[in-house]
Amino acid sequence: MKKLLLVCTFLIGISAVSFAQGGQRRGGGTPEQRLTMLKTAIAPLTLTDDQVAKLTVVYTASSKSMDSLRTAAGDDRSAMREKMMPMMTATNTKVNAILTPEQAAAYKKYTDEMRAKMQQGGN
């Protein structure tokens, strides 16, 4: 019985460490994760196949440019933030252009709620 308890404790510890190491990066993560987040944000409304294809292109391009910016900036977070803000604004403009007015309104409401939540400490 002690061995079983020890093995279970060990497995729980290993899984906790592995989840801690693979945390999601800020900015939404991969293009697939960002698309999933968008689908969640506009939950009662659905995206068409054409919208999904266009959004995937937008999010993939955004992800590549932000990754290159992170690499170039290194540890200088303030310079990185200055350069990322216009990129994030441009990405949001492109996303809103693809969405219908109803979808865009639901997405804006969701992003405003998330922004407020992050300003309160992420809880």
Q: Tell me, what's the pLDDT at 8?
A: 47
Decide which of 97 and 8 is more confident.
Answer: 97
> Does position 44 have pLDDT exceeding 90, yes or no?
no
> Does position 38 have pLDDT exceeding 90, yes or no?
no
Q: Tell me, what's the pLDDT at 79?
A: 80
**Range name among 31-40, 45-54, 60-69 with the lowest pLDDT average:** 31-40
The average pLDDT across 72-87 equals 82
Contact predicate 32/39, CB 8 Å: no
User: In the structure encoding, which two tokens stand for residue 35, read together?
Assistant: 């698309």
CA–CA gap between residue 103 and residue 44 (Å, rounded): 9
| CA distances for 73 relative to 61, 70, 76, angstroms | 18, 5, 6
pLDDT 10s digits, 62-72 = 888 888 888 88
Decide which of 20 and 88 is more confident.
Answer: 88
CA–CA gap between residue 38 and residue 110 (Å, rounded): 9
CA–CA gap between residue 59 and residue 36 (Å, rounded): 11
The average pLDDT across 108-112 equals 87
Nearest alpha-carbon partner for 122 in 114, 59, 27:
114
Decide which of 106 and 122 is more confident.
Answer: 106
Q: What is the average pLDDT score of the chain? A: 78
